[in-house]
């Protein structure tokens, strides 16, 4: 798998299974040519169908079994193939071959939402799954993470509970893909350990602009193991090259109606256009000796290690460069499992991670119908698998010979143990354990609010307001006043501004003390709860704010709506189009109708989008070119809606000469001009527009957000 001009081994492996129907006669599943695929076999023209119609049976029997159980969580997902190139010398820390400098490894990445069913909207407020299967030369390694670096719970035993709480309520199966309901907040308000993650989920991290513009985290602390068997604790981070961006909550809700596949489409189209998304893989390395050095426990999955304490070192880059050939065969059937490792990586004793080690293979066995799911093309290791496991449902490998046991002499002692030939296979880290069996929680896991506070403190003013709005929205949808109050008591332990802001919107004064029920449950894990927390190393971490990660001023692949109508000036369109193209941003013409757009200059251009089919929320910025179209747009209410919404959502708007008159019809007139409204008559039209777009949003407008639309 070294960098060579040879074909990607995973592509070659999958291609061997690709079926192309071009120029083929239709056959049954047994390869029998089909003469007529429209009519069942009947006794006479108007007679009953015959049982002997094996062609009909073949077709229907397959159809009747076309659904498999969806994933119990992360059912809704989108994936793509790619490669990882290691760029740093990691040999000091890990013997994993795919992490050695210069190695290129094929991979498949699947992004997902957690709570919604398979057909739910992409824009739900939710955690996003971020799973990568590396097909390394030492077997498959799965990094199954999220776009949020902490988790709701500390012990895997409670995973079914948190999932049951967030999923639709079991009596009425409502709501779909939403945490804004009673059972979720009932659970969260009884579980102070979920305070930190609940802040992340109520932040804009939970409504990404694109799957290509979000960070990924391995969440747990893992271990790197080097050639000498020495361990180093490690946390994994994926850093998107396009920056970290979000949509506004109101946008998310509207996008769900206009394009429920917004993220899936965006990923597919970007790869299809050759705009391959990239992420750097970063690691935080903690020497074994430093395990107990921090004010928090590095084994606790509700805690981050602030980047200011342990910097993230970049060790390689992932590029997603190929869309799947078939969604079901690849994205649906891929089986991730954080419990499968390659030599050089090991688990830590994080009790959440330890519990995951069981659950994933178990669920794949069920979901994919038996123990041979490893043989599905998407799951096969590229280096082959050789062992004595055999038979079972859907076995496809044809094991040769009469030997399927070890030790054997008849099969030449094969397949042999690595150590028998002086090779090194996977060896677990020889950690010394001397302990009693107990069912308890470590006291070092009992501080639930310090890092939640760190997160809130580290957000910009606008980001803090979004968190307050999100909590207010979610808790307003909770019917139980007791649950609302209990959650407010938790928020009050984190930050007064947060609790008071939400309390004001709910009409409840936040209680000063945690609710008795919350304390009662917390004391089951920590009898002396609440426990005095250690003094944190830092009070603020700039790395936690999305605003500081908004990208190095790139607008690559961002979508700009050109708001046009017949009579628009081609010169005015092309001027902006050219400038955006130079920045690799996309121009999308939106007109009063699809089909041929007539330019003022006489030419025509095919338009795919209209005010009827598209909405402002699906675009990053807006441009109104000059021309006779301006008169048409004056009486087009959907045009006015576009710019009103764009303005409200703090996006950049540019107006060519003459188009400024349209501003008078919008709320911009009422609320006033700002740097985000770029006029050709007053500004460098293209230069200033691009400059404002690079800032992503005009946050100053946030102070006056209640503009009606
Ligand atoms: Fe999980 C799927 C991420 C805790 C049990 N999980 C799943 C997927 C992601 C995560 C991204 C989708 C994989 C795919 O695309 O197919 N899960 C996480 C993270 C966790 C976490 C980051 C905490 C840090 N999960 C977790 C626990 C358990 C599970 C504690 C059980 C004890 N997760 C599952 C599962 C799923 C799953 C039930 C459902 C479908 C699947 O595995 O393949 O086994």
CB 214 within 8 A of CB 128: yes
Q: Torsions phi, psi of 483, nearest 5? A: -70, -45
Structural domain ending residue among the three candidates 349, 375, 401: 375
User: 575 and 539 in one domain?
Assistant: no
Q: How many domains does the chain have?
A: 3
Decide: 651 in ligand 1 pocket, CB within 6 A. Answer: no
* Mean pLDDT (the chain, rounded): 96
Is residue 434 a part of any domain in this protein?
no
Checking if the pLDDT of 1 tops 50, the result is: no
Decide: 473 in ligand 1 pocket, CB within 6 A. Answer: no
Is residue 27 a part of any domain in this protein?
no
pLDDT at 672: 86
* Best mutation site among 73, 115, 152, 201 for ligand 1 pocket (most ligand atoms within 8 Å of CB): 73
What proportion of the chain, given as a percentage, has pLDDT over 70?
A: 98
Mean pLDDT of 272-276: 97
Checking if the pLDDT of 369 tops 50, the result is: yes
- Calculate how far, in angstroms, residue 299's C-alpha sits from the geometric centre of ligand 1: 18
Is residue 65 a part of any domain in this protein?
no
The model's pTM? 0.96
Decide: 133 in ligand 1 pocket, CB within 6 A. Answer: no
Residue 441, SS3? coil
Residues 108-120 as b or e (16 or more Cβ within 10 Å = b): bbbbbbbbbeeeb
Structure confidence by residue, pLDDT tens digits, 161-194: 999 999 999 999 999 999 999 999 999 999 999 9
User: 666 and 567 in one domain?
Assistant: yes
User: 231 and 95 in one domain?
Assistant: yes
User: Which atom of ligand 1 is nearest to 353's Cα?
Assistant: 30
pLDDT at 548: 74
Banded model confidence at residue 5, pLDDT cuts 50, 70, 90: low
CA distance 349 to 432: 12
- Among protein residues, the one with the nearest Cα to ligand 1's atom 4 is 356
User: 274 and 352 in one domain?
Assistant: yes
Is residue 101 a part of any domain in this protein?
yes
In angstroms, how far apart are the furthest CA atoms of the chain?
Answer: 89
Is residue 4 a part of any domain in this protein?
no
Q: State the SS3 of 145-189.
A: EECCCCCCCCCHHHHHHHHHHHCCECCCCECCCCCCCHHHHHHHH
Checking if the pLDDT of 585 tops 70, the result is: yes
Is residue 58 a part of any domain in this protein?
no
* Best mutation site among 108, 111, 115, 129 for ligand 1 pocket (most ligand atoms within 8 Å of CB): 129
User: Which atom of ligand 1 is nearest to 75's Cα?
Assistant: 40
pLDDT at 144: 98
Checking if the pLDDT of 98 tops 90, the result is: yes
Banded model confidence at residue 222, pLDDT cuts 50, 70, 90: very high
The neighbouring-strand residues paired with 678 are 654
Decide: 216 in ligand 1 pocket, CB within 6 A. Answer: no
The token duo for 16 is 């061997």
User: 513 and 567 in one domain?
Assistant: no
What proportion of the chain, given as a percentage, has pLDDT over 90?
A: 94
Residue 2 burial class via C-beta count within 10 angstroms: exposed 0-12, middle 13-18, buried 19 and up:
exposed
Decide: 356 in ligand 1 pocket, CB within 6 A. Answer: yes
* Best mutation site among 79, 332, 356 for ligand 1 pocket (most ligand atoms within 8 Å of CB): 356
Checking if the pLDDT of 132 tops 80, the result is: yes
- Among protein residues, the one with the nearest Cα to ligand 1's atom 35 is 360
Checking if the pLDDT of 705 tops 90, the result is: no
User: 564 and 542 in one domain?
Assistant: no
Mean pLDDT of 671-695: 93
CATH number at residue 142: 2.40.180.10
CA distance 117 to 150: 23
CATH number at residue 537: 1.20.1370.20
User: 570 and 543 in one domain?
Assistant: no
Decide: 282 in ligand 1 pocket, CB within 6 A. Answer: no
Is residue 49 a part of any domain in this protein?
no
Q: Let me know if 383 is a catalytic residue.
A: no
ipTM of predicted assembly, 2 dp: 0.99
User: 559 and 464 in one domain?
Assistant: no
- Calculate how far, in angstroms, residue 486's C-alpha sits from the geometric centre of ligand 1: 28
Query: In which domain, by residue range, is 593 found?
Result: 553-704
Decide: 389 in ligand 1 pocket, CB within 6 A. Answer: no
- Calculate how far, in angstroms, residue 198's C-alpha sits from the geometric centre of ligand 1: 18
CB 548 within 8 A of CB 461: no
Banded model confidence at residue 706, pLDDT cuts 50, 70, 90: low
pLDDT at 708: 47
Banded model confidence at residue 553, pLDDT cuts 50, 70, 90: confident
Is residue 20 a part of any domain in this protein?
no
Mean pLDDT of 393-400: 96
CB 301 within 8 A of CB 49: no
Mean pLDDT of 72-95: 98
Q: Which of 8, 81, 140, 146 is catalytic?
A: 146
Q: How far is CA 509 from the centre of its chain?
A: 36
- Calculate how far, in angstroms, residue 360's C-alpha sits from the geometric centre of ligand 1: 7
User: 233 and 294 in one domain?
Assistant: yes
Mean pLDDT of 473-496: 98
CA distance 682 to 654: 11
- Among protein residues, the one with the nearest Cα to ligand 1's atom 31 is 356
Banded model confidence at residue 552, pLDDT cuts 50, 70, 90: low
Q: Let me know if 146 is a catalytic residue.
A: yes
Decide: 336 in ligand 1 pocket, CB within 6 A. Answer: yes
Structure confidence by residue, pLDDT tens digits, 595-648: 999 999 999 999 999 999 999 999 999 999 999 999 999 999 999 999 999 999
User: 349 and 312 in one domain?
Assistant: yes
User: 182 and 304 in one domain?
Assistant: yes
User: Which atom of ligand 1 is nearest to 74's Cα?
Assistant: 12
**Hey, CA dihedral for 488, 492, 494, 495, is it positive or negative?**
positive
pLDDT at 701: 85
- Calculate how far, in angstroms, residue 145's C-alpha sits from the geometric centre of ligand 1: 8
CA distance 168 to 183: 9
Structural domain ending residue among the three candidates 482, 514, 547: 547
Checking if the pLDDT of 555 tops 50, the result is: yes
Decide: 72 in ligand 1 pocket, CB within 6 A. Answer: yes
Banded model confidence at residue 704, pLDDT cuts 50, 70, 90: low
Banded model confidence at residue 551, pLDDT cuts 50, 70, 90: low
CATH number at residue 669: 3.40.50.880
Structural domain ending residue among the three candidates 342, 375, 408: 375
User: Which atom of ligand 1 is nearest to 220's Cα?
Assistant: 24
User: 180 and 319 in one domain?
Assistant: yes
Structure confidence by residue, pLDDT tens digits, 16-61: 999 999 999 999 999 999 999 999 999 999 999 999 999 999 999 9
Checking if the pLDDT of 199 tops 70, the result is: yes
Checking if the pLDDT of 295 tops 90, the result is: yes
pLDDT at 700: 84
Could you please report the per-residue DSSP string of 304-335?
---TTTSPPEEEEEEEEEE--S-IIIIIIT--
pLDDT at 91: 97
């Amino acid at each position: 798998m070294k960098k060579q001009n040879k074909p990607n081994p995973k592509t070659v492996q999958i291609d061997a299974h690709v079926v192309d129907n071009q120029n083929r006669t239709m056959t049954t599943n047994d390869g029998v040519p089909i003469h007529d695929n429209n009519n069942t076999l009947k006794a006479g023209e108007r007679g009953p169908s015959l049982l002997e119609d094996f062609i009909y049976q073949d077709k229907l029997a397959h159809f009747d079994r076309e659904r498999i159980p969806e994933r119990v969580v992360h059912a809704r997902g989108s994936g793509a193939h790619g490669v990882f190139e290691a760029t740093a010398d990691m040999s000091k820390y890990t013997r994993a071959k795919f992490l050695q400098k210069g190695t290129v490894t094929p991979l498949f990445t699947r992004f997902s939402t957690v709570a919604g069913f398979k057909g739910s909207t992409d824009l739900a407020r939710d955690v996003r799954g971020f799973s990568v299967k590396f097909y390394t030369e030492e077997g498959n390694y799965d990094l199954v993470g999220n776009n949020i670096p902490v988790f709701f719970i500390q012990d895997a035993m409670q995973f079914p509970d948190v999932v049951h709480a967030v999923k639709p309520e079991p009596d009425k199966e409502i709501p779909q893909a939403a945490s804004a309901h009673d059972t979720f907040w009932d659970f969260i308000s009884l579980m102070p350990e979920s305070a930190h993650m609940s802040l992340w989920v109520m932040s804009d991290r939970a409504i990404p602009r694109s799957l290509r513009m979000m960070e990924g985290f391995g969440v747990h602390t893992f271990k790197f193991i080097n050639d000498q068997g020495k361990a180093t604790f490690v946390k994994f981070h994926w850093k998107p090259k396009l920056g970290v961006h979000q949509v506004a909550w109101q946008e998310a809700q509207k996008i769900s109606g206009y394009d429920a596949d917004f993220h899936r489409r965006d990923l597919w189209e970007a790869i299809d256009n050759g705009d391959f998304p990239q992420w750097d893989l970063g690691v935080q390395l903690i020497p074994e000796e430093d395990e107990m050095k921090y004010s928090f426990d590095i084994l606790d999955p509700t805690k981050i290690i602030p980047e200011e304490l342990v910097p993230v070192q970049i060790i390689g880059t992932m590029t997603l460069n190929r869309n799947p050939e078939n969604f079901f065969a690849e994205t649906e059937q891929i089986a991730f499992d954080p419990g499968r490792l390659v030599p050089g990586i090991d688990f830590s004793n994080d009790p959440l991670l330890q519990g995951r080690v069981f659950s994933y293979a178990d669920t794949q066995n069920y979901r994919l119908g038996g123990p041979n799911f490893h043989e599905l093309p998407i799951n096969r290791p590229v280096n082959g698998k050789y062992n004595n496991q055999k038979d079972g449902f859907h076995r496809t490998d044809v094991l040769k010979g009469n030997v399927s046991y070890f030790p054997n002499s008849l099969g030449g002692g094969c397949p042999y143990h690595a150590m028998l030939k002086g090779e090194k296979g996977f060896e677990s880290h020889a950690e010394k354990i001397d302990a009693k069996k107990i069912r308890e929680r470590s006291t070092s896991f009992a501080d639930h609010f310090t890092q939640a506070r760190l997160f809130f403190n580290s957000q910009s003013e606008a980001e803090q307001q979004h968190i307050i709005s999100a909590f207010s929205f979610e808790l307003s949808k909770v019917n139980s006043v007791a649950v609302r109050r209990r959650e407010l008591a938790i928020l009050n332990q984190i930050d007064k501004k947060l609790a008071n802001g939400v309390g004001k919107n709910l009409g409840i004064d936040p209680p000063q003390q945690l609710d008795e029920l919350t304390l009662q449950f917390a004391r089951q894990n920590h009898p002396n709860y609440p426990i005095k927390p250690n003094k944190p190393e830092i009070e603020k971490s700039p790395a936690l704010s999305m605003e500081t990660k908004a990208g190095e001023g790139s607008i690559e692949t961002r979508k700009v709506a050109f708001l046009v109508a017949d009579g628009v000036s081609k010169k005015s369109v092309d001027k902006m189009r050219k400038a955006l193209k130079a920045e690799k941003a996309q121009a999308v013409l939106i007109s009063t109708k699809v089909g041929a757009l007539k330019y003022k200059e006489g030419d025509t251009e095919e338009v795919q989008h209209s005010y009827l089919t598209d909405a402002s929320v699906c675009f990053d910025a807006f441009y109104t070119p000059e021309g006779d179209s301006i008169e048409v747009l004056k009486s087009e209410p959907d045009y006015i809606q576009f710019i009103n919404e764009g303005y409200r959502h703090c996006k950049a708007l540019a107006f060519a000469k003459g188009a400024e008159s349209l501003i008078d019809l919008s709320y911009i007139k009422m609320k006033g001009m700002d740097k985000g409204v770029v006029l050709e008559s007053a500004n460098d039209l293209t230069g200033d527009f691009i400059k404002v777009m690079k800032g992503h949003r005009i946050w100053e407008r946030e102070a006056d957000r209640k503009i009606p639309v």
